[in-house]
Amino acid sequence: MTAGGRPAEPEVIWSRPQRAGRGPRPAHSRESIAAEAVRIADAEGIEAVSMRRVAAGIGAGTMSLYNYVPRKEELYELMVDAVSGEYEFTAPTGDWRADLLALARQTRALMHRHPWLPRLLSPVYGFSPNALRYLEHSLECLAPLDVPDAEKLELVAAVNGTVATYVAGELALAERARALPWSEDEEQGVRTAWLGSRLASGEYPRLAAAVSGTGPVPGAGLDMAAVFDRSVSRLLGAWGA
Amino acid sequence: MTAGGRPAEPEVIWSRPQRAGRGPRPAHSRESIAAEAVRIADAEGIEAVSMRRVAAGIGAGTMSLYNYVPRKEELYELMVDAVSGEYEFTAPTGDWRADLLALARQTRALMHRHPWLPRLLSPVYGFSPNALRYLEHSLECLAPLDVPDAEKLELVAAVNGTVATYVAGELALAERARALPWSEDEEQGVRTAWLGSRLASGEYPRLAAAVSGTGPVPGAGLDMAAVFDRSVSRLLGAWGA
DNA sequence: CCCCATTACGTACGGCGTACGTAACTAAGA
DNA sequence: TCTTAGTTACGTACGCCGTACGTAATGGGG
């Protein structure tokens, strides 16, 4: 082990004790660190989250942060778990499809509050404490569904995948515009113009016909919430009786 | 416009001419640049792809690359389009579900060949030339399906979302292990141990029961290809008659 | 033929993740 | 109670990164 007590062995951050027995009491907590990182990401985008920024934000020296978070990757894991704590789980109603749709709506709202979340969501973070609470609650909602447990987990994964992809699409233009020196409208404008010119080439007749009805962009004037509900409901309809 | 001819205005890289009329003939092409970036990402991971590395790889000065690619983000866009060219489109059979499943299998194989692809896939890249070819072909396969065109695009998006999420899950442990100084087995070991200890706490009874059958990990001994087919087929089953 | 847009690219700046060394601190063991 | 070993805090430094900018070379259009 190095002088600073920073291990280079495989570990999961959640199994690390927050407080070791021996030395001075830690001046910070994982919660406050995660909260600061989330604050920065919400305000300025995920690319503004750096070890230096977060450390400064909680009033610590940069390298002190490494006593709490072994790598930046683990900081991301903390962030995802922190916002996963925002779910409000209510008792299952008995209608598992309605319950899962309500959960999916919560996920969508969560991602709109934290637009960096879809990008950061990774299957390897899927076993953080709050992720486990989420899975447990999902299984509780799925109690009335008579399929093997393994398939229930598949169902939850499928729903979450659909939700993540859907909301990523909703947020994509805005997120990209925030990271670049021009506005979302300008971004949308050049993309639409490019697409229009390609479609006018006649190489993609079916696509041209398909987008001629609506705008080609993910949500020009549509009620996104309604489309979202419909997509998730359709997926849920593929399971069970 | 700056001295170097590098615009800071909104634009889509695909609408930029590869060759301007005036000066010396460009020594490189977008294709070769994208190919080099893909080569690096395949061999050493997406985080090894830097403007310096790619420029050096094609035998150019670092800043020369900016004559071809205005920002690193656009390099990613080139990469995604480049590998999207690996699809082999065959004539629709008339069975749209089979055709779309075959396409989904190709996507899965593509992502296994280029494990960085799921991470990089972004809805804003969805209109690159090869993405348009893909969409056009998908619509061709969906000709027998009698639903509005807009819904067909929704269907394609839903399938791709499911595929991306699924394969990201397949690759997650391996990709994370490659980026960290330990092996996939070690990574899997510590994650499994952590999960086991949490489940043993009794806080998640349903989850504990659900994972007691199989291992908790995405694919311990399962036939992933079969599970994949089943997931996609189920989704396809939710559409049409 | 010559002008000037365009290509090529070296230098430099501010930021990043993080290895490492050192000093201050405190709980556990003698 | 005193020692000591493990822990926290954090400054410094290294090697990367993306990219702004300035300058020299190049070659097609008027």
DSSP string, A86-138: T-------S-HHHHHHHHHHHHHHHHHHSTTHHHH--GGGTTSHHHHHHHHHH
Q: Measured CA to C1', what is the nucleotide nearest B75?
A: D18
- Asked if B127 lies within 8 A of A198 by C-beta distance, the reply is yes
Residue B153 has its nearest CB partner, among A123, A210, A238, at A210
Instruction: Give the residues of chain A that fall short of pLDDT 70.
Output: 1-7, 214-221
Cα separation, A101 vs A119, whole angstroms:
22
Compare all CA atoms of chain A with the CA of B155 and give the residue at the minimum distance.
Answer: A231
**pLDDT given at position B31:** 97
In chain B, what residues touch A207 (CB-CB under 8 Å)? 132, 135-136, 139
- Asked if B73 lies within 8 A of A180 by C-beta distance, the reply is yes
Task: Check whether residue A7 has its CB closer than 7 Å to nucleic acid strand D.
Answer: no
The C-alpha of B16 sits at a distance from chain A's nearest C-alpha, in angstroms, of 10
Rounded to whole angstroms, the distance from the CA of residue A18 to the C1' of nucleotide D5 is: 20
Query: Rg (Cα) of chain B, in Å, rounded?
Result: 22
Compare all CA atoms of chain A with the CA of B148 and give the residue at the minimum distance.
Answer: A210
Residue A238 has its nearest CB partner, among B154, B173, B234, at B234
Cα separation, A89 vs A66, whole angstroms:
33
- Asked if B122 lies within 8 A of A160 by C-beta distance, the reply is no
Cα separation, A186 vs B11, whole angstroms:
9
User: What is the mean pLDDT of each successive set of 10 residues along chain B, which is 241 residues long?
Assistant: 58 89 90 98 98 98 97 97 98 98 98 97 90 98 96 93 92 90 89 93 96 65 88 92 70
Q: Which residue is nearest to nucleotide D12 (CA to C1')?
A: A63
Question: What's the one-letter identity of residue B130?
Answer: N
Cα separation, B134 vs B81, whole angstroms:
11
Compare all CA atoms of chain A with the CA of B207 and give the residue at the minimum distance.
Answer: A136
Rounded to whole angstroms, the distance from the CA of residue B20 to the C1' of nucleotide D29 is: 12
Cα separation, B156 vs A162, whole angstroms:
12
Size of interface A-B (CB pairs under 8 A): 183
- Asked if B190 lies within 8 A of A122 by C-beta distance, the reply is no
Cα separation, B90 vs B98, whole angstroms:
12
| Each residue's pLDDT tens digit, A25-53 | 999 999 999 999 999 999 999 999 999 99
Rounded to whole angstroms, the distance from the CA of residue A24 to the C1' of nucleotide D4 is: 15
**pLDDT given at position B19:** 84
Rounded to whole angstroms, the distance from the CA of residue A134 to the C1' of nucleotide C28 is: 40
CA B105 centroid distance within chain = 13
**pLDDT given at position A219:** 55
Residue A150 has its nearest CB partner, among B193, B213, B237, at B213
Q: Which nucleotides of D are covered by protein (CB under 7 A)?
A: 5-13, 16-29
Rounded to whole angstroms, the distance from the CA of residue A97 to the C1' of nucleotide D6 is: 53
Structure tokens at A184: 């979302």
Q: State pTM to two decimals.
A: 0.95
Cα separation, B127 vs B135, whole angstroms:
9
A83 near A38, Cβ under 8 Å? Answer: yes
Residue B182 has its nearest CB partner, among A10, A150, A205, at A10
